[in-house]
Amino acid sequence: MGATRAARACATILALVALAGCARAGGGPAGGAQAGTFRWADAEDIDNLNPLLSTQTVVEDLSAFTMGYFFVFDAKGDPQPSLCLTVPTRANGLISADGKSLTFRLRRGVLWQDGKPFTAADVKFTVATILDPKTNVLTREGWDEIARVDTPDRYTVVFRLRHPYAAFLNRFFTPVGNPAILPEHLLKGKDVNHDPYDALPVGLGPFRYVKWARGDEVVMEAFPQYWGGAPRLKRVVYKIVPDVNTALTQVRTGELDAFVRVPNTEIDQARGIPGTRTVDHDVNAYGHLDFNVTRPALRDVRVRRALASALDLRALWEKVDRSSGFLACTPISHLSWAYDPHAPCYPFDLAHAAALLDQAGWRMGPDGLRHKGGAALVLSFAGNVGTPGLDARVAMIGGWFAKIGVKLEYVRYPTNKLFASYAGGGIAATRDYDLISYAWSLSPDPDVRNLVACSRISPLGQNYMGYCDRAVDAALGDALATYDRSKRLADYTFVQERLGRDVPFVVLSQRTEHDTVSGRVHGFDPGPIMDFWNPTELSTGP
């Protein structure tokens, strides 16, 4: 398939929230640009600010300003020590010979934003909280490999693992895994699922939360006692702007300094705003269309292959995505060492799709629909409200499906309902759909077990499709149990080709993000994993 250069668990969900509507026009900046203040917007509203309990990308962004992690990922996607002094490797002796002990040397002199010292006890407490079955984490992928945590002193933590775990950088206190380190002195003995802490968390980052006006904005102020030195900015304001035209208007008038993840449909408009620049960067994310393989019609792989063959992915990419991103047949990023350029795809072929449905026993009826056992082939497609890009995508797909006798019923939900946790009755997590489309943001390591393994079918993980293949599970397990990259590559190549054969989902494209920022913003340097990996370097001014 074609590509462009312009082409991000526990995975995080990127909601397709490219909203259209009437922008507020005219008028000057609300309050005007202020030196030392950075005001940015995305379309996502927020469920809570505790990253332990959220899969939202925007919470990951906010946590990059406010929370504390072992490592962050720089503009190249490489891990950089933060609260840990060194990334563990076998060469430096911080990974044991048997691969089952990981030692983390912690930075000294770090303070929580309420002035209390950060120690190894906070790390041990957070791991216990994640592993507590009462905590509403969306996955314990990787964490369940921890048999115990040792703290030989206040600044050393040793994770004793049941098995070697090669993807530890994806999970153990890095922003892409979302769980941040929690303060034991504030949360010990508390119900973390419902504690007021979740609304204004106390963290270890360079900025601290001071206000969350739900549905409107989140305000953060510089923490002067941050271990890395006072940040250049004094104040960061995240604005919830659920209308893309309004967001772009506010960038134009100076009410916003940045609009991150500009929808592909609005790239040209964003590029045309005077005094701004639009940063395009490839990310470890992919758009996908998922099949609920637990539904009777979709259990049959021939039906899934038929539907995949009825998708003109290039047309969707060109018309909906404006040729932004990278056409690929696998979720593992083309930026990754494990990317398989030979993973199988299903070329657009309506005749072949119809033949597969015939083979599966779905016969065309006089009403123009396929029927089997007295039931018509009618499928529900779940989406989120206010997403014209997704609306356009579904309209195109529905037209192709109609030609092979399949009817789509498009049902749209509020974003927070669509992507709520299993406990919260989320449509995706509870599999209350036949087809669904959104994007996954992946970690830098190519481990996708949390999304496709039998043991990670929700509510045990983020396998929302209900897909289960024991051979895939075995390969994923084998890849995690060794630190030898050549062996891991063989496993991930098998997984990608097996997923292509079984087609529990179709990769629509791997993604490029577009961030439009004012010329007064300095130090913004997004990477494939994180937009705000260097918050202390951000500044605003002339």
pLDDT over 50 (residue 18): no
Contact 540, 233 (CB under 8 A): yes
pLDDT(21) > 80: no
pLDDT at 420: 85
What is the reported pTM? 0.80
pLDDT band at 385 (very low <50, low <70, confident <90, very high): confident
Q: H helices of 77-173, where?
A: 120-131, 168-171
pLDDT of residue 242: 83
Band (9; pLDDT cuts 50, 70, 90): very low
Instruction: With a cut of 60, say whether residue 4 has pLDDT above it.
Output: no
- Share the mean pLDDT of the chain: 91
Alpha-carbon gap, residue 211 to 60, rounded angstroms: 17
pLDDT score of 22: 32
In which residue are the tokens 């481990």 written?
447
Mean pLDDT of the 359-388 span: 94
pLDDT beyond 80 at 10: no
Which of the 8 DSSP states describes residue 533? S
Q: What is the mean pLDDT of residues 482-498?
A: 95
What digits encode the pLDDT tens for the residues 100-129?
999 999 999 999 999 999 999 999 999 999
Q: Would you state the pLDDT for residue 170?
A: 82
Q: How many helices (H) and strands (E) does the chain have?
A: 14, 21
- Spatial contact of 473 and 455, defined as CB atoms under 8 Å apart: yes
Question: In percent, how much of the chain has pLDDT > 70?
Answer: 94
Least confident span in 30-44, 54-68, 100-114: 30-44
Q: Helices (DSSP H) in 111-173: which residue ranges?
A: 120-131, 168-171
Q: Taking 80 as the threshold, does the pLDDT of residue 90 lie above it? A: yes
pLDDT at 389: 87
Q: With cut-offs at 50, 70 and 90, classify the pLDDT of residue 207.
A: very high
pLDDT of residue 348: 98
% of residues, the chain, pLDDT over 90? 78
pLDDT value at residue 8: 32
Q: Is the pLDDT of residue 319 over 60?
A: yes
Say if residue 92's pLDDT is above 60. Answer: yes
Report the CATH number of the 283-512 domain: 3.10.105.10
Average pLDDT over residues 403-407: 98
Q: What is the pLDDT of residues 173-197, one digit of tens each?
A: 988 766 899 999 999 999 999 999 9
| Across 511-536, average pLDDT | 94
The pLDDT score that the predictor gives to residue 177 is 65
DSSP per-residue string spanning 464-479: TT----HHHHHHHHHH
When pLDDT is averaged across residues 196-209 and rounded to a whole number, the result is: 97
Residue 437 clears pLDDT 70, i.e. is over it: yes
Q: Give, in order, the Cα–Cα distances in Å from 317 to each of 186, 334, 346.
A: 48, 17, 15
